Every structure is written in C-alpha cells, then in structure tokens.
Amino acid sequence: MKMKWAVVLCALVALSECLHRVPLRKGKSVRKALEEKGLLEDFLQRCPYNPSAKFNPSFAVQSDESLMNDMDISYYGIISIGTPPQSFKVVFDTGSANLWVPSIYCNSNACSNHNKFNPNLSSTYRSTSQTIAIQYGTGSMTGILGYDTVTVAGIVDTNQIFGLSKTEPGDFLYYSVSDGILGLSYPSISATGATPVFDNMMAEGLVSQDLFSFYLSRDGQEGSLVTFGGIDPSYYTGQIYWVPVTSQTYWETTMESVTIDGKVVACTSGCRAIVDTGTARVVGPTSDINNIFAYVGSYSQGSTDSLNCNSLGSMPDVTFRINGYQFSLPPSAYVSQEGSSCTTGFGLNGNNQLWILGDVFIREWFSIFDRGNNRIGLAKAVHL
C-alpha cells in the first residue's frame, strides 16, 4: 500500500510541474497537452508504474542560446513568448534588467518593421494595469506590463513579467535588427521592479548554476552565444580571473587603472566600471578617452575618432587593471577598419565617471556573470 501511494504522489508532483509549464485549454486532455509539448515521455519516465523507479524532480539545465553578430555592433538571439509561441529577436543585455518587446499597441515607426507581440493570440497571457518606461543611452520605450511564458535557449520560463511597448521614439530602434531587449542585470535597476528573466529562472530552479556566460565573435562571424547555467571551457583558454561585483545594480566592479606601455593614462585614481554586453564600445570619461586617443595615435571626431590605418603594426596594447589582474586589448581587438578608414572601439562618456566595458572588451575576454557568488569571471577568449 505504501508503494502504491508513493507512485501516486510521484505522479501528482510530476503532473503538477508539467502542468505548470503547460496550462490546459478547455476541452484538452492532460495526455494531449503533455504530448503536444513533448513532455509526455518525460512524465512517464519520471513516474513509471514501477514503484522502485528513481524519481528525479529537477529540470535544471545548462543551455546555449546562439547569438547573431550584427556587424560587431550588437548581438541578438531569438526567444519566444506566449502559447502558441511568438518569436522575437532580442539583445541579451547585461546593462539593463527588463525584458520587453514591441506590441500591437505600438504605433511608433520603430514598431512598423519589427515583430509585435499580440496578447490576444496567447492563451497563457495575463494582463496588468502597470505601465513601464525605460531610457537607454541610444533609445527609449514606454508600454505596459504583462505576464506570459517565455522560452529562452529551450528553457521554459513560466509566469514571466515583461514589457509590451506602446511607444519607441527616435530612429535608433527603427534601424535596429533586434525587436526588443532582454535585460540580464540585477533586479535593483529593473524598471517598476519587474522580476528579470534570469531571476525567474533561478527562482524556478531552471538552471544548473546561478550564472551565465558570453562568448562574442568578431568581424561579423557566426558562433556567438550566451550559456545559461554553465561555462563552456572550449570558448576560452588559460585561467578564469574572478573579480567581485561591487554594486549589485549593473555588473559593476572597481577598476584600478588603464595603462599603455606600463604608463597610467586613464582611471588614475581608480574608477567604477561595468561589463555590458549591450554596449558596442569601451566607453569612458571624455578626458580619459581623449588621453587614450593621443597615446594610440587617434584623434577625436565628435562622437567617434579616426586614425591612420598604416600605423596598426606599431600601435600599443591598452590594459585595464581590475582586482590586481591585467586585461589587455591589442590593436586587433580595439581597431576596426572599413576600406581605408580606421577607428578605435573607444567612446566618450562626457563627464560621467562610469566606465563601460562593452563588446570590444568582451570579444577579447570571455565573460561569466555569476549571480550565485556576485562576481564576474574573465578569461582569454578563443577565436577560431
């Protein structure tokens, strides 16, 4: 009798978990719903009619999300929202914390050429009366918040709050290849306090480790990815250098200095720095960046710079000292060339003293974002 009840209990627990991921529509059987979602076999294996069978309740995984490289300017992957799923290209952004996509309520130009979420087509969508407004360095959005099932890298994240845009003013988002943004920073900077996607994954026990890692390709090549719940050692060489998160807002740490040929040229008294997959360049205070320009032989031209392409062979490394470790960028990492025109990957941040170590830095340094230990791991990226 005890064995019989154990089997029944096992089935109820597993069925509860499966139905949590597969809400039933009216008139649809449990078996049919699980079968359509590919979960029937999993359910039967976990709760067979063998009372001695082992029951493993864990759905935690390590899973890769392939990222498209948009001319080394941004990296985006494809997620789905709703039941049945609606697909969207999103930037996986460690410099923000909210998930949002365009919606059918949006009439901005930026929404006219992107996929738009239609809540009326999703049987699992839940509306709210909450509004959301987010300002980025290169764009903004306003909209409403709702809940639905979000699938990322094959991980089914149920009951996820996200933004449905109603306005996306300006031109930047219009010309962006991606539809929306999936923020991966700390919940403390989330607009309206909405729970970020990765926090929901951790809370639901969907990832095998409370961390994710990024490998970014160069020169527009394929192969970029973000790994949720793990670290793939094939994308880096040597050791992982761990640096502490000093503010659980962005992925922020303390940088001690920026040096060229052993001479401190920027961040002379220490500074704050964030590792940000959503920013293309390495950005710093205007005076510091202009100093770097002078040392590498470039000169400022408004928001960008210019240099002699013939001098690439003699240009120096730019080294960032963080937590006592040296992270260098060779000219091949920070200079881009189009025809006879060359520019660096350094950008001006005005009087803002916050440094942003964007994709120019991350392409050279495989980056791990460890929420479980509030630290950032950096290792030398391997480019095939």
- Domains in the chain, please, with CATH? 2-46 (no CATH), 63-224 (2.40.70.10), 232-381 (2.40.70.10)
Chain mean pLDDT for the chain? 87
pLDDT digits (tens, 9 = 90+) for 24-61: 443 444 445 545 545 444 444 444 333 333 333 346 88
Predicted TM-score of the model (pTM) = 0.84
pLDDT digits (tens, 9 = 90+) for 103-157: 999 999 999 999 999 999 999 999 999 999 999 877 889 999 999 999 999 999 9
Q: Which residues are known to be catalytic? A: 93, 276
Picking from 359, 356, 59, the residue whose alpha carbon sits closest to that of residue 226 is 359
Contact 154, 63 (CB under 8 A): yes
Please state, in angstroms and rounded to a whole number, the distance separating the CA atoms of residues 350 and 148.
39
Contact 134, 141 (CB under 8 A): yes
